[in-house]
Structures are given as structure tokens and as C-alpha cells.
A = this chain, B = another copy of it.
Amino acid sequence: MTTLSAPYLVRHDPGVRPTMKDVATAAGVALKTVSRVVNGEPGVHPATAERVRAAIDRLGYSRNESARVLRRGRTATIGLVIEDVADPFYSGLSRAVEDVVIGHDCLLLTGSSGEKPVRERELVETFCTRRVDGLIVVPAGDDHTYLRPELEAGTKVVFADRPPGAGLDVDTVLADNAGGAEQAIRHLLGHGHHRIAFLGDDPAIYTAAERHRGYREALGGLYDPRLVSMRPPTLEGVRADLDRMFALDRPPTALFTGNGRYTVTTLRALAGRPIALVGFDDFELSDLLQPGVTVVAQDPSWMGRVAAELLFRRLRGDVGPPEHIQLPVRLIPRGSGELP
């Protein structure tokens, strides 16, 4: 006897997956019974369920989620658009979002926009095409009218870290950017500094603009545009701007850096030259540098968690007016901000 036809020896062609129907045939039951077992629905005799489960294992069956989603409408999927997973701020935020999403038995789709509005939109549209139930977006662009059809179709959207462009009133979770900058500047003023430079991202980026606003307001009459540099944080660029500022008649005696990446780049550009410095965003090892780096710390995990929980509240049916949550930041003195 060379032909083995016992069901447990059946080998499927690569690429051909068993379906519920195959399982049903193998177990000698109707398709619906398999469905019941797979979904843990009641009303199946234990012995029958056991037979079905055996068939599932034997065939290596796994449910086709696309078919399920098509039928049910709900995907149990959330989309997250951030700027860059490789940036510690966003990877921390991502992890927190992932944890909340997992806790709701959902899947998370994540994508990096790389600060490109086109890519942001592509990601959102890709996610919508996959019918995510909700979206958390750290926007790169400032026109979000393309989201309208999605919102009308019932997709819930929460913006995090930065607000949407004009004309879209949805939930937001933002940090107190301006307030944090003011705190930083008042701290430096309190330590006797009057010439405080600002080094930050392009003002097109909301957080950079807000932090600059806080800086400017806290400085009042001391504000001097020659002490402001707003551009992408390249080492060469920062170095050039520092050189320019240090060559002024009245050079800066303190620096305020507009985000974590900027702080690190600035420290590198300073190459050990001691100068008072406060940075926006905490970062790993800020405490181990000499001197420790004084920062205005945000909590990326907190932001992620709050945004995700707000989103799930909406998905549960909360239809109140859009919420605008502002998360506080806090100044952590470590030495660099207390230099004379």
C-alpha cells in the first residue's frame, strides 16, 4: 500500500491554504460549526468542538482576516502616523500606543512620514483603504481636508503632538510647548542670563513655532532676532549659527534648544565649550553628561497613552465635542541650565 490517504498526511500545495470549508469537511460538520468553534461562540457540543479543533490543527488552518473584515465591517485595527520611528520621542510614543491598542485586542499599523506631507497623506490613505477603525496622526503637513471623507465615513481621528491644519476640528493631544519654553527661559533669566539664544527647527513645524513663541514672550524686551536660528538640525548648520552668534558684539551667554535632536547636535557642535543650556525634551544620558543637561521634559509615553485612550473612547461611541488635551511639561535642573 503506497497511497496514504489518511487526512493527517494530506499535504497542501504551497500557497493553498485550508479554509473553514476544508476544516468542516475534515471534521464532518457544517461550516458554521467551525465558525462557532473558531470564534468561541456557544452552542457547540464539547466533543464536536474537539473534533473541529483537531481538524484545525491537522490542516494548519488559520482564519482569513480579510474575509472576516469584509463581512463584519470592523477591522479592529488602528493606524498611527508619526514622523520617524527611529526618533526616541516617537518610538516611545509608539510603544505606549501599541500597549493600549493591544489591550483592546486590536492591531496597530504604524508608518513614518519623515516630515513629508505627501507621505503623511499616503500613509493615512493606505490605512483608510485598510479600513482602520481609528487613526492617531502626528501631522507633517498643514492641510487635512483630505481626511473629510474618512471622518464622514465614521473613522475616528486624534491628532497628537501637533494640531491639524485649519478647518478641521478634531481631538488633539498636545504638550504645553509655549509654557515649557517660557519656563526654560525664566529659569535662565533667573540665573542671570540676558542674552539667550534659541536654536530650533523650522517654524513651519508647529512645536518649533510654539516653543519659539514661548521663548519670545518670556524674553520680552530682551528678544533679539540675531540670537534665533530655526532650521533643520544639521551639525554644520548649528555650528555655523553658533559661530555667528558668538561673534556678535554681545554674544549669547546661554542657549535654549528647541528639541531633543537639537540639544544633542548643539552639544556636539559646542565640543565641550561650557555655556549655560536648557533643552526641550529629555533624552537618555542627559544625566550622565558633564555637566548634566537641564531640560524641559515631555513624556512621550504619556502622550501616546492619552491619545490612544481618547481614540478608544471615541470608538466606544463617545460623541462629545472635540477635546483639546494639553499635557504639562516639567523643567528638570541637572547642571547645564544653572551655569552662570
Contact = CB atoms under 8 A, between A and B. Distances in A.
A183 B213 CA distance: 51
Nearest to A154: B15
Nearest to A88: B88
B91 A131 contact: no
Nearest to A77: B130
A63 B130 CA distance: 8
Interface residues of A, number: 56
B85 A75 contact: no
A66 B60 contact: no
Contacts of A66: 66-67, 69-70, 75, 130-131
Given A16-B153, A153-B17, A289-B288, A98 B70 contact: no
Interface string A251-270: 00000000000001001100
Contact of A129 (B14, B64, B95, B290): B64
A65 B11 contact: no
Contact of A85 (B69, B98, B125): B98
A298 interface: no
A237 interface: no
User: How many subunits of this chain does the assembly comprise?
Assistant: 2
Contact of A153 (B14, B87, B108, B264): B14
Contacts of A249: none
Contacts of A88: 86, 88, 91
Contacts of A336: none
A217 to B, nearest CB: 31
Interface stretch (A46-54, A109-117, A204-212, A273-281): A109-117
Contacts of A128: 62
A148 interface: yes
A88 B260 CA distance: 14
A9 B35 CA distance: 41
A335 interface: no
Contacts of A126: 107
A284 interface: yes
A12 interface: yes
A41 interface: no
Contacts of A125: 62
A95 to B, nearest CB: 4
Contact of A285 (B75, B95, B264): B264
Contacts of A16: 153
Contact of A149 (B60, B70, B131, B267): B60
A304 to B, nearest CB: 10
B288 A267 contact: yes
B86 A92 contact: yes
Interface in A1-20: 11-12, 14-17
A128 to B, nearest CB: 6
A65 B77 CA distance: 13
A294 interface: no
7 contacts: A14-B154, A60-B153, A66-B130, A85-B95, A98-B112, A283-B284, A285-B289
